[in-house]
Each structure stands twice: as C-alpha cells, then as structure tokens.
A and B are shown apart, each in its own frame.
Chain A
Amino acid sequence: ETKVSFAYWGDPAELPPFEKIVADYEAANPDVKIEVQHAPWSGYFTRLDAQLAAGAGPDVFFITNVPTYAARGQLEPLDKWIADKGFPIDQFNPEALLIHQLDDVLYSVPRDNDTNVLYYNKAAFDEAGVAYPTADWDWAALRDAAIKLTVTDGGRITRYGLAIEKNNWSNWVRQNGGTTFDHPTRPTKFTLDEPKGLEAIQFIGDLINVDKVTPNFTELDQAGGTGQLFSSQQAAIVFANAARLGTFADADFEWAVAPLPKGPTGIRSNSLGGAGFGINPNAKDKEAAWNFFAYLAGEPGQVVFASANASAVPAQIGNAAVKAAFKAPFADVFLSEAANGKLNASFPKYVDITNLYLQPALDLVWNGEATAKDAIGGIVADVTAKLAE
C-alpha cells in the first residue's frame, strides 16, 4: 500500500471538498492511502516550516507565498512532470500562474481565484433607504452608502456601513491606478509612495478614522472577522471572497452580492490567483505524490471545489466540466469579477518586506496615527534597500 501525505488549511466550512476529494481518490485507488494533515490557518505554516526545515513534511501540500518556498528548494519543479504527464496547464489563467512560479519555473498549481465581491445586507439598505449596489458604483458611491448605512448608539457604532479585509489594500491601490511595486513578481522599485498609491491608502484610512464607517483591522480581528460582523448584522457591506457563500447561507436576513466598485477614474480591479498545491521534493514516492496531485489540482479536484457550496472561483476555468460545476449563487458576478483579476505582489522577499516595513507603516495609517504620505514615505528607503539585497 502506497502512502501519500497531504496537508491543507481551512476553516471548518471549507473542509468538506478536501475530504471528498481524498475519499474519492482513495476509492478509485484502493492501493493508495492518503494521510491527511489539517491545521487551521493560524498554525499551518508554523508546522509546515518546521517540518520542511527538518527535511520532512507532507508529500503534497496546500501553499501560498510560493516563490519563498521555491527559492529554498522546498517545492518540486512541476514543468517536467506537466510535460511528461500531459497535465492540462493551459486550462488555467496564465497570468494567475505567475505567482506560482520562480524564475519561469512553475512550482505549484492554483486551486482557485481569490475573487472578491461586495456582500450586502438588503434589510440594512432598506432600513437606511439606500439603493442596492450596482455594477456602476464607484468609490464615492460606496463611501456615500457606507456613511448612510452606519448606525451609532451613544457614541458606539452598532453597525458599520462597510467592512474590508486587511490584506486587500493592494487591490484598492490598483483600482486607483497605482501600484505597490513596479512589477508584481520581479520588482525593482517600490512604487506605493507615488500619489495614486498614497491616495488609495489614505482613502481606506479615512473610511476608518475620519468617516468612521469601517472597523479598524485589529478590531475586525477581535470581532471575528468580516464573516462574523456580517452574520451578526453589524456590518452592512463586506468585501470578501466566495468562501463566505457557505458561511452566510443560513443567515436569518436577506443578502446579495454585487461587483466591486470602480476606482475614481473607472478602473476595475480584483485579486488574481490564489493559493495552490505543491509537491514536496523530498516526497518518498514522488510518482504517487504526483498522481494524487494531478487528481487534486486537475479536473476531478477542481470539479469538487467548484461545486462545493463554500467554494471560490475555480482556477481551471478553461475546463468545461469545471466551469459547468461552478454553480454557486451569484456565480455570474464572481466570474465577471474574476476577469478583472490582477496580480498581487509575490516574490521571495515579499514576506520580509511586508512584516518588517509595510505592515507596521500601514498600521499607522489604519490607526489614524499617521498620514499615508508620512507612513509610506518613511519606509521607502528600507524597502528599497531590502529589494536591492
């Protein structure tokens, strides 16, 4: 009996498709046993890193920040396997694959596209007398609605007009026509300090601190995230990905989704790419690992993910069966928004730069303790130096 170990993270609601794929695969391949290692997002990488550092680790694993792992040789290069085995890599969005590469070599295959939409609480809109969001909304319309939707009681906010997620800011920068780096995967220059970028950052900061219609990210974490806030009707609109569909399914109020708003100059942007699956170069039985990988990352797996209630937009969207399986509510909105996808920065030093410089600087803006200009301006030298290293 062959054993293949497989690690992934996920909130409880996200787990059923993983479990189904494993079960289906084992049923189809009785001589193979898939050893499943699940950990929540909060602990997944700590464990994975320790294992990989010790030359161990799962054979196949769910992964993000691919270039960092690839640079350390902790991911199996896939090009040769794909060529040998005829994996339909052309059914994936080639741009989305960029963040799964390092130096033009592919190291992982994405599971989905982390497409965001606006979820909105119809009752709240009705109550505030605000018209439901449309595809024509721009930032101003969004801000305007958020202000009207925010409810306060004795100085305390009992319902936020809008809640957004912490790691989504770069999308806002793009909607405003700005960039963070001159190139998302091969940067040479830090560009967030240019006016378009600063404007976008400041816009978010002001939603939080000036308009006071959006919760601070620390607060959002403490409150249980956008999902929790929306479920308990304490946020009227949230920016979130398709994973919420499952969470909100049994909400006791009416809600719907809408496309993201346009930037002030009409630019549309959404996230492109998402986490993917990789193979451990140290896997004992690489052939077996690949076989499971191909099932998981290819059509059979993609169909399961696409048809799961809690799924995100599937990555292998060029495959007819996969596309057909994607029958999520508001699937059309997700698919059209997926088309606006643009890459987030993704390169080996990005983790360091984020943790050391970007995040602390952005914290100051989110907390209203500094303007975007001052905060971002203050780290240009550090980030530039790090890029140059």
Chain B
Amino acid sequence: MARARTPLRLRDERVAWLFLLPSLVLFLLFTGLPVVAALVISFTQWDLFNPPQFVGLQNYTSLFNDRIFGQVMGNTGLYVLASVPIQIVLGLLFALGLNRVIHGKTVLRIAYFLPVVTSTIAAALVWSWLFNTNFGVVNALLSAVGIAEPPKWLSSSKWAMPAVIIVSVWQNLGNGMVLFLAGLQNIRQDVYDAAALDAARGWKRLWFITLPLLSPTTFFVLIITLIGSFQVFELVFIMTNAGPANATNTLVFYIYQNGFQFYQMGYASAAAMILFAIVLFITLVQYRLQNRWVHYG
C-alpha cells in the first residue's frame, strides 16, 4: 500500500476527492454546466434554434421595463408572503397538536403526509375541480353555510391566487409538520419539567420554551420552504395555466413561458438569474439573522 511517507492529512485529501468524484461529475454535467450555460444565455438572444446572439445586459434591462414581469414579481411576492407563513404556522400548529396525541399518532402522521406523496398533477386536477364555481364541492359547502355569492375561485383574477395558495399549503403542510414533529420530539423533557416548576404553562410554555427551542427546526423549514415556494410551478401550470389574466403568473412560470412558449431563452434565463439572486439574497439574510432568534443546543 502506498501509505508509507505521505503525511496523514494529505492522504485524507486524496481520498476526499475520490469520494466526491461521482457527485462532482454528475453535478458538473447536469447542474454546473447547465447553470453556467443559463448564465451565459442570459446575456444573449436565443430562440433555441438559431445561434445565440450576445446582447449584453439587454435582457435584464428589458425585464425591468416589462409590465408583465412586474406583475409576475408581485404575484410571486404575494404567493411567497402568504403561503410560507401559513405553511409554517399551520405545520407548527398541527405538529404541536399531534405531539400531544397519544394514540393514533402514526395514522395521523400518514394522513397528513398523504398530500405530499400524491402526485401534484392529480392533486391539482382534483382541487381545480373542487374549486369549480358551479359544480365544485368548495362552493357547495360555502353555499350550504349560507354564503350567497361564493368566490369564482380559479375563474376570478382576485380569487385564483388564494386558491393556488390554499392548495399549495394543503400540499406542503405535511412536510413542515413532519419536520416540526421531529424537532418537537427533540426538545428535552427535563426542560419542560423545569418549566412546569417555574409556572410556565399553556401559551406561556409555548411562547417561552417550546418556540425558542424549536427555532433551529423553524429555521430549516423556513429556508427550505422559501426556496421551494419561489419555485412554484406545477400547481400554477395545471390549475390555472397562469391565468386568469396573468393573475397567477409566477416567476418560474414566466420563465417557462418565455423559454418554451415564446422561445426567448435569453430572456427566460435572465429572469431565472434574477430569481436566483433574490432567493440567494433572502437565504443569506436569513443566515445572517439567524443568531438573533435561532437557539442551538
């Protein structure tokens, strides 16, 4: 064996790259290369078929003057701002509740995870159907409880986005809940015991003990949910196809639309780079801010 004289540390170094080799090859080929390509393409005009033409920052400047892009950014912001907090708060509430249940935990957990495993396509179809203004169950229930003019949901530019948000919350709730549940189970019982003796009960216990100690989980869930929600696509694609009147057109859908419907890959890539920059920025800010509210150990 070639062990003899190399210092121990350098042997580690060589082995490390061997371990990384498969991931590096796959990453470079299927992520690195395409991402760099996308970055380069964002400085070109390219219709997918004719050779790309370098146009400098033109795609970026046009984006800033694009009225629809503005609307799309607004929609995306609304979606993220609404769905992320709701997902997190509801996921947390269900996890808190589930954590107190003694029997049937497993069954409940599976039930709550069911939406996660259901194919987005099937789920979106069923939901768009439940939301049908005329035939749908949602409005049937709403009229049953006496709401005379129930929303027109997917055929209303005001209600389409809320409907998409409801479905996305429904679908992703299970993820957050499972993560929170895991986090809750990790909180040490002895700290709760100490809190019991310190007269921290009910909401006080929740506020002063449970939530702070859960914060590393919350942080992880927040980051993952944020990254994921900025990339919402399939739901929009199937439920509304970005309509009506672009009311549910979100960033990734717009990227898709420009790339695959209008064949403006450069423009689409520029939008993607902006999305990337926003998500990266928010993630980094979160990392920065975490020592204000995330308590490890």
Contacts and interface: CB of A to CB of B under 8 A. Distances in A.
Judge A-B direct contact (beta carbons within 8 Å): yes
A156 B143 contact: yes
B243 A218 contact: yes
Across the A-B interface, the 5 shortest Cβ-Cβ residue pairs: A363-B244, A53-B48, A218-B155, A360-B245, A363-B245
Most buried by A among B143, B148, B240, B262: B262
Given A72-B47, A72-B263, A355-B257, A360 B246 contact: yes
A369 B245 contact: yes
A222 B129 contact: yes
Interface string A346-387: 000001100110011101101101000000000000000000
Interface string B215-247: 000000000000000000000000010011110
B140 interface: yes
Q: How large is the interface on B (under 10, 10 to 19, 20 to 34, 35 or more residues)?
A: 20 to 34
B132 A361 contact: no
Interface in A260-279: none
Interface string B47-91: 111100000000000000000100000000000000000000000
B113 interface: no
A12 interface: no
A72 B154 contact: no
A202 interface: no
Contacts of A360: 243-246
B44 interface: no
Given A351-B261, A351-B262, A369-B245, A219 B157 contact: no
A218 B257 CA distance: 19
B211 to A, nearest CB: 40
B134 A367 contact: no
B50 A72 contact: yes
Interface in B146-195: 148, 152, 154-157
Given A216-B133, A366-B244, 13 more contacts: A49-B260, A156-B135, A215-B134, A216-B152, A218-B155, A222-B128, A222-B135, A222-B154, A355-B262, A356-B68, A366-B155, A367-B157, A369-B244
B229 to A, nearest CB: 23
A72 B128 CA distance: 36
Interface string A74-110: 1000000000000000000000000000000000000
Nearest to A72: B49
A217 B245 CA distance: 13
Interface in A206-234: 215-219, 221-223, 234
Given A72-B50, A355-B262, A223 B132 contact: yes
Contacts of A74: 49
B131 interface: yes
Interface in A15-51: 46, 49-50
Nearest to B125: A222
A129 interface: no
Given A49-B260, A72-B49, A364-B244, A218 B154 contact: yes
B245 A219 contact: no
A328 interface: no
Contact of A367 (B47, B140, B152): B152
Contacts of B140: 156
A353 to B, nearest CB: 10
B249 to A, nearest CB: 9
Contact of A355 (B48, B128, B240, B261): B261
A169 to B, nearest CB: 15
A73 interface: yes
B257 to A, nearest CB: 7
Determine chain A's interface SS by DSSP, over half rule: helix
B132 A219 contact: yes
A218 B140 CA distance: 18
Nearest to A224: B129
B178 to A, nearest CB: 31
A234 B240 CA distance: 23
5 contacts: A52-B48, A219-B134, A219-B155, A360-B244, A363-B244
A364 B154 contact: no
B244 to A, nearest CB: 4
B50 A219 contact: no
B243 A363 contact: yes
A53 B245 contact: no
A219 B155 CA distance: 7
Contacts of A154: 143
A359 B247 CA distance: 12
A222 B152 contact: no
A165 to B, nearest CB: 15
A49 B156 contact: no
A367 B262 contact: no
Contact of B244 (A215, A218, A351, A355): A218
Nearest to A359: B243
B155 A352 contact: no
Contacts of B261: 351-352, 355
B157 A369 contact: yes
Most buried by B among A49, A215, A218, A219: A218
A160 to B, nearest CB: 8
A367 B244 contact: yes
A339 interface: no
Interface string B254-268: 000100111100000
A367 B244 CA distance: 8
Contacts of B135: 156, 219, 222-223, 234
